[in-house]
Amino acid sequence: MSITEPAYQQCVMPGCAATFALDDVIFRCRQCGALLDVRYDWNRVEVPSSLRAFDTRSTAVGHDPESRANASGVWRFRELLPFAPLEDLVTIGEGKTVLQQADQLAAQIGVDAGRLHLQYEGLNPSGSFKDNGMAAAFTQARRLDRRRVACASTGNTSASMALYAGVTTTKSGRPMEGIVFVGGGKIAYGKLAQALDYGARTVQIKGDFDDCMRLVQQSADRINLYLMNSVNPFRLEGQKTIMYRVLEGLGWEVPDWIVVPGGNLGNSSAFGKAFAELKELGLVDRIPRLAIINAVGANTLYQLFNDRGVRFDCKCKGQKAVADHYRHMAEEGITAKTVASAIEIGRPVNLSKALRSLKMMDGVVRQVSDEAILDAKALIGRYGFGCEPASAASIAGLQVLLREKTISPSDRVVCVLTGHALKDPGVTVAYHTGDRLPAAANANPPITANADIEEIVALLEG
Ligand SMILES: *Cc1c(COP(=O)(O)O)cnc(C)c1O
Ligand SMILES: [Zn+2]
């Protein structure tokens, strides 16, 4: 079809590149089945000539649409995701994150002072980066006047979607309804608590995340639910802004490395698109390198990229290798298993887009053990930026990359801390109080004492 709007959707496969209208509710290319991007005709959008133009917006106050958009860490960059008019933008003040320079942590893991930064996404309204994507996806749901939204989730997607569904009404003023598919027994309590409290209809499936993902896509087709997983390309538009805020935190300078945990690979996909577009628009002069970190027990991308040599370009070879790998997993009964539940995913839906990001950002993929994740998590917590297990994969991965000298101590590195420490307190308490032998490297077990002042003084002075 011919596209006349400045924003539209396009198949990611270079050999196909079919285009679809912005408001077509479609998550796979009708020609070839690949994922879709939201695309813009930048000649028809007013984009600032320098990123510094965004500097003045972050202190916005007021309740008119423009002030509200400026107060959102997503929508104050609206010219870089221009698919909806100002009055349609959905926001609850997501993305008010501040890039943190982490010198104490840097000293512990062997990074030079001033070179390690943490992008702490736990500060979002529902406590994870997912809110960046939901602000954008709910904006599109609102434009389409959709009432029922659904997702499959390891936890944070459902928490975030439930929150936005709770506060958003449709264009015609009706409350939205959130429907969440979670795997039986697989969800951290902090996250399940949120989905229930925010009023989502929560369906616990007797299966794992990959089952939930398949079933929610089938349900969406059958009973007209609007899908809010990261196959929804509008989600990824919102998640691009995480990178804009990283640049903002560095005075608009480009870091050397972005390190991010990899689950469904939405973030990695969004980050590559963000930088490719900034480069195309002449708003940055270079692109950082990307490191995607898998857990050993959920390492599909690691195996495909490093062991089977799958790349974005070699379409046929790549698709066969991916199919072979999934068949191998099914035959051997291999399912994802890691303490980092947010990345416990065997069949990442954004695989092709993540491969494209790895190509555009000269990226690498590494895997880290659960033990390394938990030790890194305690170290991050020790210096004040507590996070959930999946987030800590970024620091554990950085440690691997430093050891193998892929990253040098003087490189400027940004690790994305994807979710808040209080999402999964059970894992944290078990780590610090557990009876693991030898004791966990960074354990900080509580001391017990009688209710006796002399004993307590003796303990604390000792
Ligand atoms: C969703 C999530 C991830 C995985 O991100 P993807 O974009 O799916 O790779 C990692 N950490 C946390 C805390 C998450 O909620
Ligand atoms: Zn296609």
pTM, to two decimals: 0.96
The amino acid present at 449, given as its one-letter code, is: A
**388 in contact with ligand 1, CB cutoff 6 A:** yes
Specify which residues 148 forms β-bridges with: 177
Q: What six digits make up the tokens of 330?
A: 């099914």
Q: How many residues does the chain have?
A: 462
Determine the atom of ligand 1 nearest the C-alpha atom of 263: 9
Q: How many CA atoms lie within 13 A of 436 on its CB side?
A: 16
Can you give the pLDDT at residue 4?
A: 58
Q: What six digits make up the tokens of 138?
A: 């709910």
Q: Which residues surround ligand 2, an ion (CB under 5 A)?
A: 11, 13, 16, 18, 29, 31-32, 34
Q: What is the distance of C-alpha 42 from the center of its chain?
A: 26
18 CA → ligand 2 middle, Å: 5
Q: What six digits make up the tokens of 315?
A: 């379409």
**397 in contact with ligand 1, CB cutoff 6 A:** no
Which protein residue's CA is at the shortest distance from atom 3 of ligand 1? 342
Phi, psi (deg, nearest 5) at residue 24: -70, 125
Q: What six digits make up the tokens of 244?
A: 């804009």
Q: What six digits make up the tokens of 174?
A: 């009706």
Determine the atom of ligand 1 nearest the C-alpha atom of 354: 9
Ligand lying nearest the CA atom of residue 159: 1
| CA pair distance 271, 274, nearest whole angstrom | 5
Strands 226-227, 148-153: parallel, antiparallel or unpaired by DSSP? Answer: parallel
Can you give the pLDDT at residue 137?
A: 98
Torsion of CA 448, 452, 457, 459, to 10 degrees: -30
456 CA → ligand 1 middle, Å: 42
159 CA → ligand 1 middle, Å: 12
Domains of the chain: 99-125+236-433 (3.40.50.1100)
Helix ranges (H only) for 168-257 are 189-197, 209-223, 233-239, 241-249
136 CA → ligand 1 middle, Å: 17
Q: Which residues contact 183 (CB under 8 A, 6 or more apart)?
A: 154, 204, 205, 207, 208, 209, 211, 212
Can you give the pLDDT at residue 253?
A: 98
The ranges of the chain with pLDDT < 70 are 1-4, 185-186, 314-316, 437
Q: How many CA atoms lie within 13 A of 389 on its CB side?
A: 30
Specify which residues 226 forms β-bridges with: 149
Can you give the pLDDT at residue 1?
A: 44
Q: 3-class SS at 374?
A: helix
Can you give the pLDDT at residue 314?
A: 67
Can you give the pLDDT at residue 224?
A: 87
* DSSP structural state of residue 186: -
The amino acid present at 27, given as its one-letter code, is: F
- Predicted confidence (pLDDT) per residue in 47-85, tens digit: 999 999 998 787 777 889 999 999 999 999 999 999 999
Q: State the burial class of residue 60 (Cβ atoms within 10 Å of its Cβ: 0-12, 13-18, 19+).
A: middle
Q: What is the largest CA-CA distance in the chain?
A: 82
Q: 3-class SS at 306?
A: helix
Which protein residue's CA is at the shortest distance from atom 15 of ligand 1? 156
Ligand 1 pocket test: pick from 94, 128, 240 the residue with the most ligand atoms within 8 Å of its Cβ: 128
Can you give the pLDDT at residue 166?
A: 96
| CA pair distance 364, 76, nearest whole angstrom | 31
**272 in contact with ligand 1, CB cutoff 6 A:** no
Residue 31 region by backbone torsions, left for phi larger than 0, else alpha for psi between -120 and 50, else beta: alpha
Distance from first CA to last CA of the chain, Å, rounded? Answer: 77
Tell me if 386 sits within 8 A of 380, measured CB to CB: yes
Nearest to 446 by CA among 461, 434, 458, 462: 434
In 3-state terms the chain splits into helix, strand, coil percentages (rounded to 5) of: 45, 15, 40
80 CA → ligand 2 middle, Å: 24
1 CA → ligand 1 middle, Å: 35
Q: Which residues contact 73 (CB under 8 A, 6 or more apart)?
A: 94, 95, 96, 97, 132, 241, 245
Ligand lying nearest the CA atom of residue 230: 1
CB-CB neighbours of 313 under 10 Å: 12
